[in-house]
Amino acid sequence: MCGIVGYVGPRRATPILLEGLKRLEYRGYDSAGIAVGLAGSASEEGGAKGAPKASGNRLQVIKKIGKIAALRAVVPKDLPGDWGIGHTRWATHGGVTDANAHPHLDASGKIAVVHNGIIENYRPLREMLEKDGVRFASETDTEVIPNLIARYYEGDLEAAVKAALGHFEGTYGIAVIHADHPGLIVGARNGSPLVVGVGEGEMLLASDVTAMISHTRQVVYLNDGEVVVIEPSGYRTTGRDDRPVDKKVDQVTWELNNIEKGDYPCYMEKEIFEQPESIARALSGRIDRETASAKLGGLNLDKRRLREVGRVHVIAAGTSWHAGLVGAGLLESLARIPASAELASELRYRNPVVEKDSLWFAVSQSGETADTLYAMREIQRKGGTVLGVCNVVGSTIARESEGGVYVHSGPEIAVASTKAFTSQLAALYLFTLQQARMRDLSMEEGLRFIEALEAVPGAVKKVLGGRDELQRIAKKYSHATDFLFLGRGLMYPIALEGALKLKEISYIHAEGYASGEIKHGPIALVSPEVPSVFVVPDDGLREKTISNMREIKARGGPVIAIGVEGDGEVASIADDFFGVPKGDPRFYPFTMIVPLQLIAYFCALELGRDVDQPRNLAKSVTVE
Ligand code: M6R
């Protein structure tokens, strides 16, 4: 969703801000803008009480709807900018207009603010300010922030920001600059991430490390309730009550090329093709052949506690929820632990029962999804233990959970999640193995499971070799307006995920269903114009799924089957067939999702869609 970047230091701020915004594009946005401070000449007079002695400083704000390229086109080439802030906006309050884009200024034009999140009580604040004569230039909730800061400003920007924060209900990550405070940015966080980038004689502030990784790898993650002041010489963090807060400097471990496309036309294709390596990374160092189990030290739970787990719940959204559904299914069947995957947005408001022996997993690629985070906090409030399964290191969910597993897929830039999904599966499979081995899975069965798990990256690589065939299939059907995706057992969540991938990047309407459900309604949709994609492995449910395929064929519906190599019967029923390498049926979720990712990708390409940044979507959904 929205993105923030800020810079103070000896270099020109403008190009650094524009580059940072470009790197934040993947989060999804519809307008962008920058505010840079232009230093005037020094003065003996000084401004308001306590303000630094400076005069003639001014802020220049430039903002534009559309892509960063549109903003870049209206930013004067030689605009210096001695310090500044930038923003990518994903509209919530107020339409997509230049006026609603951030940064927003206070009425005097001296204070500029960029804001991620939502100020829920902005209406009464706006009315109060309007009564005092403030005229607003936008329809946003954000514009109350600079105006309220201005009301408290008496020369100390940090103090004014802290005083204003006391009025806001809702969520925010903000960066604030003042014309009379050259080289200084105040940031504050409550529910929307902010990270400080520590450079040599320069400092950055951003909502996401990708915005500053080309300048520094040393970062400091802010927590809710913290305020930071950055200046070229350093940073200081305090609570809103002025109490100093000591922060640890973390080192970003991934490389710049992880967030660049390389030779691929799109991030999504790159990320699909990275899966053999990303799955291997998720497994690396976590398999213990000696005990035929998994080593997951980050869970922070002792053996007794792990053995006593009576029920597992996964909390997640979107693709991560689908990974959770697969994980829960496997846990039940292999470790015999009752397990379920819950939609975070529903769970939070359901007043969930939190049993003492339950273990909760918050599964999230970004680790910032508001629905998942709030659901997790609700469970924690009721005494539940929540572990995180996250990709982004240092993300809020990772930091607020009692322990967990990083999936190590590397930065995922395309809005449509692909490699994070298979890495989440890897983490959940490892946890299942550990639980099963603590219960009644034999050493021999444990070793067989490990062998099959270690074979996954190779099998995924083979599937990727079928790229051209999958492109052919996608081309043939890309002009359909509706698709059905069908599977049973562990393949049901794979069908859901296949449908989600197709709809989000190609905008083709797609429904995922359990194959057994089609006769209860969806079969009415079947026609020669509506292709059905079946995921049909050689497991105990194969015959049942074949019957469902025949039901569709009998009604004139085209069938695409993703099955197992050499399955002549499935191939003969389907109009188009793609086979994945034969293997242990429990591991087909890894291999069978890949053809669905590629079919969705090639359909979107065929239709000329913006694959990496589909309309209306954001990579990290930080509002409810
Ligand atoms: O970052 P998260 O895994 O928590 O995100 C959850 C969903 O927003 C995400 O999976 C979304 O559904 C993707 N667009 C799927 O491709």
Residues 196-217 have pLDDT tens digits of 999 999 999 999 899 999 999 9
CA dist 196 and 179 (Å) reads 21
Half-sphere exposure of 273 (CA within 13 A, CB side): 15
- The answer to whether 588 and 404 have CB atoms below 8 angstroms apart is no
Kindly indicate whether the domain formed by 3-252 is annotated with CATH number 3.60.20.10: yes
**Ligand 1 centroid, distance to 416 Cα (angstroms):** 7
Sign of CA dihedral 381, 386, 389, 394: positive
Place of tokens 């980038």: 197
List Cα–Cα distances, 617 to 26, 27, 423, 496, 609, in angstroms.
10, 8, 22, 18, 13
CA-CA-CA-CA torsion for 202, 208, 213, 216, nearest 10 degrees?
30
Report the mean per-residue pLDDT for the chain: 94
Report the atom number in ligand 1 closest to the C-alpha of 416. Answer: 16
Nearest CA to ligand 1 atom 12: 318
Domain 465-624 class in CATH: alpha beta
Q: What is the pLDDT of residue 46?
A: 43
382 or 262, which is more confident: 382
Taking 60 as the threshold, does the pLDDT of residue 78 lie above it?
Answer: yes
pTM for this structure? 0.85
Q: How far is the CA of 364 from the centre of ligand 1 (A)?
A: 7
- The angle that helices 588-606 and 491-506 make with each other, rounded to 10 degrees, is 20
Q: How does 234-243 read in b/e, with b if 16+ C-beta sit within 10 Å?
A: ebebbeeeee
Q: Rounded to an integer, what distance in angstroms lies between the CA atom of residue 89 and that of residue 488?
A: 40
Among residues 256, 247, 215, which one has the least CA distance to residue 8? 215
Report residue 116 as tokens: 């991620």
Nearest to 601 by CA among 528, 503, 512: 503
pLDDT of residue 385: 97
Q: Is the pLDDT confidence value at 305 over 50?
A: yes
Give the residue range(s) of CATH 3.40.50.10490 domains in the chain: 264-454, 465-624
User: Exposure pattern of 107-126 as b/e (b: 16+ CB <10 Å)?
Assistant: beebbbbbbbbbbeebeebb
Which residue has 């190779």 as its token pair? Answer: 458
Pick from 494, 488, 584: nearest CA to 543: 488
Catalytic residue among 2, 266, 390, 603: 2
DSSP single-letter state for residue 210: G
Pinpoint the alpha helices (H) of 61-121: 68-74
Nearest CA to ligand 1 atom 8: 318
Whether residue 265 is predicted with pLDDT greater than 50 in this model: the reply is yes
pLDDT average, residue stretch 251-270: 87
- The preferred substitution site among 266, 366, 417, 622 for testing ligand 1, maximizing ligand atoms within 8 Å of CB, is 417
Give the position, in ligand 1's atom list, of the atom nearest the Cα of 372.
4
448 pLDDT exceeds 60?
A: yes
Q: How far apart are CA 185 and CA 178, in angstroms?
A: 8
Q: Please classify residue 63 by burial: count the beta carbons closer than 10 Å to its beta carbon, then call 0-12 exposed, 13-18 middle and 19+ buried.
A: buried
Q: Which atom number of ligand 1 is nearest to the Cα of residue 618?
A: 14
The alpha carbon of 621 and the centre of ligand 1 are apart by a number of angstroms equal to 8
The alpha carbon of 367 and the centre of ligand 1 are apart by a number of angstroms equal to 10
Atom of ligand 1 nearest to the CA of 369: 4
Identify the residue whose C-alpha is closest to ligand 1 atom 7.
Answer: 318
Report the nearest-CA residue for atom 14 of ligand 1.
416
Give residue ranges with CB within 6 A of ligand 1: 317-320, 364-366, 369, 372, 415-417, 504, 617, 620-621
Q: What is the mean pLDDT of residues 412-440?
A: 97
Q: What is the C-alpha separation between 457 and 285, in angstroms, rounded?
A: 15
Q: Which stretch of DSSP H or E encloses residue 322?
A: helix 318-330
Mean pLDDT along residues 167-188: 95
Measured CA to CA, the distance from residue 410 to residue 391 in angstroms comes to 7
pLDDT digits (tens, 9 = 90+) for 31-71: 999 999 987 754 444 444 445 555 688 999 999 999 999 99
DSSP string computed for 551-589:
HHHHTT--EEEEEETT-HHHHHHSSEEEEEPP--GGGHH
For residues 244-254, give the mean pLDDT: 91
619 is catalytic: yes
Q: Is the pLDDT of residue 609 over 80?
A: yes
Burial class (CB in 10 A: 0-12, 13-18, 19+), 479: exposed
Q: How many angstroms does the Cα of residue 341 sit away from the middle of ligand 1?
A: 15
Report CA(26)–ligand 1 centroid distance (Å).
13
Collect all residues with Cβ–Cβ distance below 8 Å to 598 and sequence separation of at least 6. Answer: 272, 464, 466, 467, 470, 471, 474
What is residue 152's predicted lDDT score, i.e. its pLDDT? Answer: 96
CA distance 348 to 561: 37
Task: Indicate which atom in ligand 1 lies nearest the CA of residue 318.
Answer: 12
pLDDT tens per residue, range 318-363:
999 999 999 999 999 999 999 999 999 999 999 999 999 999 999 9
**Could you say which of 64, 419, 503, 619 is catalytic?**
619
Mean of the pLDDT values across residues 255-271? 88
93 Cα to the center of ligand 1, angstroms: 22
What class is the 264-454 domain?
alpha beta
Ligand 1 mutation target, pool 365, 372, 393, most atoms within 8 A of CB = 365
Q: How far is CA 424 from CA 271, 316, 438, 577, in A?
A: 14, 11, 21, 27
> Phi and psi at residue 156, in whole multiples of 5°?
-115, 105
Minimum-distance ligand 1 atom for the alpha carbon of 418: 16
Instruction: Examine the residue annotation and report whether 266 is marked as an active-site residue of this protein.
Output: no
Token digits of residue 243:
């109490």
C-beta separation of 349 from 365 below 8 A: no
Ligand 1 centroid vs 467 CA: distance in angstroms? 24
> Which residue ranges does the chain devote to CATH 3.60.20.10?
3-252
| Shortest-distance Cα residue to atom 4 of ligand 1 | 364
Q: Is the pLDDT of residue 11 over 90?
A: yes
**Nearest 5°: CA angle at 534, between 526 and 332?**
125
Residues of the chain above pLDDT 90, percent? 87
Look at residues 422, 410, 365, 409 and name the one whose alpha carbon lies nearest to residue 596.
Answer: 422
DSSP state, 237? E
pLDDT, residue 52, reads: 52
